[in-house]
Amino acid sequence: MKKFFLLFLALGAVAFAGEADGESMIKAYSVVAAGVGLGLAALGGAVGMGHTAAATIAGTARNPGLGAKLMTTMFIALAMIEAQVIYTLVIALIALYANPFL
C-alpha cells in the first residue's frame, strides 16, 4: 500500500504536467498537496467528531441530568473541530488559486 501511494505521488505531477517547466510542476504538486491535505483534514475531523459524540453519549448515559450541559459543550467542541477542517480548505484553495510559489 505504501509503495502504491508513493508511486501515485511520484507520477501525479507527471500526469498533471503537460510540459516539464517549473510552473506546471508547482501547479501539479499543489493539486496533489491540496487533495491529500483535505483528505487528511476530513479524516481527522471525522475521527474527532466521532470521539466527541461518543463521549457525550456515554456521559449522558451515566448522568442524564447533565445531558443539556454536555450537549452544549459537545456543539462547541464540534464547531472547533470543524473550524480546523475549514482552515485546511482555505489553505488548499490558496495553494490552488493564489499560489504564492508561482
Average pLDDT over residues 56-62: 96
Decide if pLDDT at 18 tops 60: no
CB 100 within 8 A of CB 71: no
What is the band of 71 on the pLDDT scale with cuts at 50, 70, 90?
very high
Decide if pLDDT at 13 tops 70: no
Decide if pLDDT at 4 tops 80: no
- Whole-angstrom distance, CA of residue 80 vs CA of residue 3: 35
Which residues lie closer than 8 Å to 3 by C-beta, 6 or more apart?
Answer: none
- What DSSP character marks residue 65? G
Backbone dihedral angles phi then psi of residue 73, each to the nearest 5 degrees? -65, -35
Query: Which of 8-17, 45-54, 93-102 has the largest mean confidence?
Result: 45-54
51: amino acid identity, one letter: H
Decide if pLDDT at 82 tops 90: yes
Which domains can be identified in the chain, with CATH numbers?
A: 2-97 (1.20.20.10)
Whole-model pTM: value is 0.72
Decide if pLDDT at 17 tops 60: no
